[in-house]
Structure formats: structure tokens, C-alpha cells
A and B are shown apart, each in its own frame.
Chain A
Amino acid sequence: MVAVIETNSLTKTYGSLVAVNKLNLKVEKNTIHGFLGPNGAGKSTTIKVLIGLLKADSGSAKILGQEIGWDRPETRAHVGYMPELPKLPKHLKGTELLDIYGRMYGMTEAERAKQVPELLDVVGLGDRGTDLIGQYSKGMQQRLGLAQALLNAPELVILDEPSLGLDPVGMVEVRDLMKKLAKQGTTIFLSSHLLHEVQQVCTQVTIINRGVEVTSGSLEEISSRVEGPLKIEVEVNNLSKPILEKLEALPFVDNVSRSGKKLLIELTTRDDVRSEVSQAITNAGGVVVAMNLKGESLEDVFIDLLGTREKES
């Protein structure tokens, strides 16, 4: 697979703070690549180095096959970038901003005339394009920030927390748009703290913490790297001692703890044994109201890999 982003021991420090530490990142073409990490992990710093806003202390990086260097505008010609909570010039109107940015990308007048209204429609600002950006709400500025990132029909789109400040409908629209762009062959590099968002749209994921890559790969690969058994959380009506005994007797159950109507069953396996557990509860006279497998969602993987599960609990 062709890499559209490739870093080699990329390092960036702020004084004594190492924000990005020898990062080896690889984003393959035609993927939606999630970039995850807790606050201060170095996600935005990495992106800013890639875009040319920050200078790396050491290491190297390539975007679309070109070394990023410093102040090399040609490396950004086919890249769209949406910063986290984009700050856009308030003195311009939405259409003016996109038109001027379009000129900066070297788009012809005909291209701008077609692309600008289309993009405003796509992000839901079709009827507000002639308003000054200073009159836009935070969510509307976020939408315009997304539109400007897609203006040059980029091969690579880098989105830093695109759902921040959006209402639930807006979030869904952004996810749908990402999927649509990916289908059209655009590579998307998505930095997000919304794990369910990443889980819904991304095909590949890189997790970093304190500037260091924790893991990288497809969602399935990453899940399989998580050590330790799964857990099942189950809510049971008619919860009784025989049910607990029955569950504890199951060969793949390590421990069962109770909290009101809820049971947390710790397993000795990573196999999905929900049907066996459900059957055991029913046989012992209980009624399963709800059941969740814990330890396989991206959130579980994220917490597990960052070693913060204990702190969280």
C-alpha cells in the first residue's frame, strides 16, 4: 500500500517537554485513519508539523511522497486541513473566504464558481454564505472550517477534531461526508477524541500517548493486541444466589461480582460467550434484561492500551 503520510522518528519538543517522541506514523492511501490519544498526547502537534506550522526538532516526514521540510508550500497543494476549532477571519463572508482560499490553491474562476456554493451546501451553509463569518455560530464556523479543508478536492484531508462544537445531526453529517469522501478515493486522517466516531468511520487507527506511538493497525488488529480477558456486564431480573453459583461454575468464568441487579462477569477467555452466559442465567431462573460485552470496543482497547483502566475505575 502507498503511504500518503509517513514519519520517521519525528520529534518535536517545547522546551523540556517532548510533545512528539520519535514517532513513526504511516497512513495508507484510500483509508480513513484515526489518530487517537488522550489530551496532550501530541496529536495536534504532529499534525501541525505535517502541515508546516511547526518545525520538527529531528526526524523526517513525507506527505503524498514529498518531504515536508520547512516552508515548502508545494507539499500542501493537494492537502486539505481543518484545524481544531478553526479560527477563520471574521471580516470576510463565507463565500469570500472560500473564494480567496480557492485562489490560494490556484483554482480557476470557473472551478471556484462551481466548488464554493456546492461545498457550502454540503456543509449546510448554503443560505448563510453571504453573511460575515463574525456572525456565524461556533458550529457554523466548524462547518465552514470543514468546507475550506475540502475546497481543493484534496487527495489527503487532515481533520483535527471535526465534530467539536457540532450538534448531533452535524456530527452524523460529518461522518457520512467522511465515508463518502473515502469512497471517492480521498484519504482521511482523523484526529478525534470521540472513540465511537473513530470506531464508526475509521478503517485504520494509530494510538499515541505522550508523543509515542502505542499501537497502530486496523481496528481488528488492535483489538486482538489487547491482553487480558473480556468482561460481560449483565442486568438480571430475579437475581438469586443459584444464578451466581451457576455462573461461577462455568469453565470460562473467573469471577462474578454483583451490584444491585447488575452482574460483572470476568472471563478467562476473549471468546464471545454471551449466549452461554445467557443460557446459564435462564436455566437458573433468571431473566436477562440487558447484556454488554466489555473489552472489545475501541474505548476499552484505548483505556487498556494506555494503562489507565485502573485509574478510571
Chain B
Amino acid sequence: MSGRNTSWLMKFLAIVRYEILWNIRKKKFIGMFIVAFALATLTLAGGYITSAITGEPVDADPEFVISSNAGLGGLVFFLFAVVTTMNVISAEFESGTITPLLAKPLSRTTVFLGKLLAAFLTLLATYSFLIIYMAIGSFVAYGPQTNLHLIPLSLLGALFSTLIWISIVLLFGTLSKSSLMAALGPFGIWIGTTIIGQILQALSGQGWILNYIPGVGNFGYVDGSPLEGGFPVSTGTDSIGANLVNYILHPAWEVTYYKIDIEGPAQIPSWVPLSTEPLSNVILTSIAVAVVYFIVFFAVSWYVFKHAQVAE
């Protein structure tokens, strides 16, 4: 065929298109989008629900959209990572569609990168929509909002946090070639760090370990312990966006970590301070951890995919 355009970019964008169409037509994705939309709406309605219960009027809150991190948090990151990525490699193998796909004149690296970019773009569009919805909703519900210029930082942080989960989902999916394992493996990590990790942290005082595991991370407090009304700060990769925003607004914040001591003579639980560090340290650590996991997990997934044989 004459005039055939064999540029790498064209082929790469073909994979991106292929994957985006798959993403947005997945029932799982549509379902997750509805859930995220409902969660955002619930966040917006929180003040009004409280008002209906207590009978107190709803106050204007110019920090609402920023303080709520535009409604984006760990659970949303994890779930969106699962629904956009659990099928990226594994479902192609499970359904057999990998066979005609890899028979095309594309390198496996091109296929791999194209699928990743598609997942990223799907998330970017979804989070952008949710953030815009939250910003408009906050304005309507709680009056004019301040610090809206920090919203892109929240979006960037949300994408970065989700990418860590994506790399984990991708790793499980590529190694197992099973969509079920791609979802269950990361779910185990998420449950482990979110629930079990927090319990261990509070009781053992060894929460620093959570700083080096993807997810919500350790919990510290600014301006006093929880009993003294301290502001909670989570240190994990899920909180990069929120912490960046907090750092810009409060660069001098110091984060103190506590353990719950129940061994006193009165057997009354008390919060014992363990250590303190600047918020900037927290952010740098979580970004470094995220980058290392991201690179290692993606590199392993890429290598496995590049050498995967298609027997069926």
C-alpha cells in the first residue's frame, strides 16, 4: 500500500484509542463513576445532613473544596485504579483478544505504554469532572471558595496516588494473567494498610513502617494529639495531593506521631508522642516511596508482559 504512515506515534495512539474505548464502555467503570459521583454528592451534602439532624444553620465555608481534597481520597484512588487497570493485560489474555492484538506490527512495549496512557487519560478525565463538579457544588452549597488555584495540585496528587495503585493492580494482573487476582491482590494490600496497619500503628507505635508501603500510610497530628483537637495528617502515597496543598497553605506545619498507651496504672488509654517531623519531610518521603514503587512495579510488569507467551 502506497503512502502508508508507519509512524510509531500513530500506532501508539491506536492502542490508546483501543484501550480508552474499552475503559469507558466497561460496566465496572461506569458503575464506579456513579459511585464516585454519589460519594462526591454525599460529601457536598454532609453539612446539610448535619444541619437537618442538629437543626443548626449551614455556615458558609470558603475552604470546603480544598479541605475536602475535592472529594478525592484513598478509597476512590484504589477503586478507580482497579476498574481502569484490572483488565488492562489480564483480561486480554483471559478473553483471547491478546492474540489478534499482538499479531499486529506493534512492539509489546508500545502496547504496554499505550494501555497505561489510556488508563491515565481515563482517570484524568474522570477526576477532572469530579473536581469541577465538587468546585461548582461547593460554591453553590457553601458560598464562594478560596484557594481554588490549588485544585490542579489536588488533581495532580490524586493522579499520582492512583498511579501507585495502578502499578500494583498491573503487577498482579500481568503476573497472574487473571483479572480476579489483579483486583484481589491489591485489595489485600489496601485492606492491610488501611485497617490492620492502622490498628498495629496505634497499639505498637511502629507506624513508620506504613510510610514505606503504598496506601494511606502512617497517621500523625498537627497542633496536638487527637484528644487535644490536633489536625490529622496521613503520610502515605494516597495523601500526596492533600499534603502538598496543606504544605502550600501551612509550610511550617510539624507532624507529631503518637502511640496509644494502655499500660498505665489506671489502664486508661493515653496518646504518647513518639516523634515529630516537618510536613515537607512527610511529602518528600511519600513521593520518593511512590516513585520507587511506581518504577519497580511498572518495570516488572513491562518485563513480564514483554516476555509473555500466548499459548491459548
**Residues 42-91 (chain A) with a chain B CB within 8 angstroms:** 48, 51-55, 70-71, 73-77, 79, 81, 83, 86-91
User: Are A87 and B4 in contact, CB atoms less than 8 angstroms apart?
Assistant: no
B97 at the A interface (CB under 8 A): yes
Residues on B with beta carbons closer than 8 Å to the beta carbon of A14 = 311
The answer, among B5, B13, B109, B311, for a CB contact under 8 Å with A54, is B311
Which listed residue (B10, B25, B107, B311) contacts A73, Cβ 8 A?
B107
Contacting pair A51 B103 (CB below 8 A): yes
* Highest count of chain B CB atoms <10 Å: which of A71, A79, A103, A152: A103
Per-residue B-contact encoding for A84-101, CB less than 8 Å = 1, 0 else? 001111111000100011
Of the candidates A53, A88, A108, which one forms a contact with B310 in the assembled complex, judged by CB atoms under 8 Å apart? A53
Asked whether, in the complex, the Cβ of A86 is within 8 Å of the Cβ of B100, the reply is yes
Contact of A111 among B3, B17, B104 (CB under 8 A): B3
Given contacts A14-B311, A54-B309, A54-B311, contact A108 B17 (CB under 8 A): no
CB distance from A47 to the nearest CB of B (A): 10
Interface residues of B in 269-312 (CB under 8 A from A): 306-307, 309-311
Contact (Cβ within 8 A) B103 A83: yes
Are B311 and A104 in contact (CB-based, < 8 A)?
no
Residue among A86, A91, A110, A153 having the largest count of chain B Cβ atoms under 10 Å: A91
A162 to B193 CA separation, bound complex (whole angstroms): 51
Rounded to whole angstroms, the CA-CA distance of A77 and B11 in the bound complex is 12
Q: Are B22 and A89 in contact (CB under 8 A)?
A: yes
Find out whether the CB atom of A88 lies under 8 angstroms from the CB atom of B309: no
Alpha-carbon distance A152/B11, docked complex (angstroms): 14
Q: Are B107 and A71 in contact (CB under 8 A)?
A: yes
Q: Does B99 contact A (CB under 8 A)?
A: yes
The answer to whether A86 touches B99, judged by C-beta atoms less than 8 angstroms apart, is yes
| Distance in angstroms between the alpha carbons of A83 and B97 in the assembled complex | 10
A106 touching B7, Cβ below 8 Å: yes
We find that the number of chain A residues with CB closer than 8 angstroms to chain B is 39
Closest Cβ–Cβ distance, residue A115 to chain B (whole Å): 9
Contact with A along B2-41 (1 / 0, CB 8 A): 0111110011011101100110011000000000000000
Within 8 A of A (CB), among B71-114: 95-97, 99-100, 102-110
Residue of A whose beta carbon sits closest to that of B11: A104
Most buried by A among B11, B26, B306: B11
Given A53-B309, A54-B310, A73-B105, is A83 in contact with B4 using a C-beta cutoff of 8 Å? Answer: no
Determine if B103 and A81 form an interchain contact, defined as CB atoms under 8 angstroms apart: yes
- Chain A residues with CB under 8 Å of B15's CB are 104
B109-134 interface mask toward A, CB cutoff 8 Å, 1 = contact, 0 = none?
A: 11000000000000000000000000
Q: How far is the CA of A150 from the CA of B48 in the complex (A)?
A: 61
Apart from the given pairs A79-B103, A89-B97, 4 other A-B contacts in the complex at a CB distance below 8 Å: A87-B95, A96-B21, A107-B4, A111-B4
Q: Are A103 and B22 in contact (CB under 8 A)?
A: no
Q: Does A192 contact B (CB under 8 A)?
A: no
Minimum CB distance partner of A54 in chain B: B309
Please, how many angstroms separate the alpha-carbon atoms of A100 and B25 in the complex?
16
Tell me if A101 and B104 are in contact (CB < 8 A).
yes
Interface residues on B, range: 35 or more
Please determine whether A48 and B5 come into contact, CB atoms closer than 8 angstroms.
Answer: no
In the complex, what residues of A have CB within 8 A of residue B266's CB?
Answer: none
- The answer to whether B22 touches A91 (Cβ under 8 A) is yes
Contact A83:B26 (CB < 8 A) given known A104-B15, A111-B3: no
Shortest Cβ distance from B94 into A: residue: A87
* Residues of chain B contacted by A145 (CB below 8 angstroms): 100
Q: Do A76 and B22 touch (CB < 8 A)?
A: no
A71 contacts B306, C-beta separation under 8 Å:
yes
- Whether a CB of chain A sits under 8 angstroms from the CB of B1 is yes
Docked Cα-Cα span, A52 to B102, in Å, equals: 8
Q: Please give me the residue from chain A that is nearest to B24 by CB atom.
A: A91
- Shortest CB-to-CB span from B272 to chain A, Å, is 54
Are the C-beta atoms of B4 and A55 separated by less than 8 Å? Answer: no
- CB neighbours (8 Å) of A52 from chain B are 102-103
* B contact residues around A53 at 8 Å (CB): 99, 102-103, 309-310
Given contacts A55-B309, A87-B96, A87-B97, are A103 and B10 in contact (CB under 8 A)?
A: yes
Q: Is A148 an interface residue (CB 8 A)?
A: yes
| Docked-complex contact A73 and B97, CB < 8 angstroms | no
Q: A53-B99, A86-B99, A152-B1 are in contact. Are A104 and B21 (CB under 8 A)?
A: no
Q: Are A83 and B100 in contact (CB under 8 A)?
A: yes
A96: B residues at CB distance < 8 A: 21
Measured between beta carbons, the chain B residues less than 8 angstroms from A107 are 1, 4-5
In the bound complex, what is the Cα–Cα distance between A53 and B15 (angstroms)?
18
B100 touches which of A81, A103, A108, A152 (Cβ 8 Å) = A81
The reply to whether A108 and B4 form a contact with Cβ atoms under 8 Å apart is yes
A-B interface, 7 closest residue pairs, ranked by CB to CB distance from nearest? A87-B96, A103-B14, A106-B6, A53-B310, A73-B105, A104-B104, A81-B103
Which of the residues A81, A87, A100, A152 comes within 8 Å of B18, measured between beta carbons?
A: A100
Contact A74 B105 (CB under 8 A): yes
A-B contacts, 29 listed (Cβ < 8 Å) = A14-B311, A48-B310, A51-B103, A54-B311, A55-B307, A70-B307, A71-B107, A71-B108, A73-B104, A74-B105, A75-B105, A77-B105, A81-B100, A83-B96, A83-B103, A87-B95, A87-B96, A87-B99, A87-B100, A91-B22, A91-B25, A92-B18, A96-B21, A101-B14, A101-B100, A104-B11, A104-B14, A106-B5, A148-B100
